[in-house]
Chain A
Amino acid sequence: MKIGVKVMPRKEVLDTQGRAVENTLREHGQKLDRCTVGRYIVLDLPDADSEAAMARAKTMAETVLCNPLIETFELERL
Chain B
Amino acid sequence: MLPQRSRLSVLVFLVPPLALYGIAVLLPIFQSLFLSFFEWDGISPMLFVGVENYVHMFTGDAVFWTAFRNTLGYVAICLVLQLGGALIVASLLTLLRRGRELVKTLYILPAVISTVAIAFLFQRIYSLDPEGLINQVLEFVGLGGLQHAWLSDVNTVLAAVSIPEGWRFTGLYMLIIYAALLAVPAELEEAAKLDGASWWQTFWRIRFPYIRPVWITTTIIATTNALRGFDIPYLLTNGGPGQSSELLTTYMYKTAFTSTNYGYASAISVFVVVECLVAVGLIFVLLRRKADA
Partners in one complex: no
Binding site for A on B (CB under 8 A): none
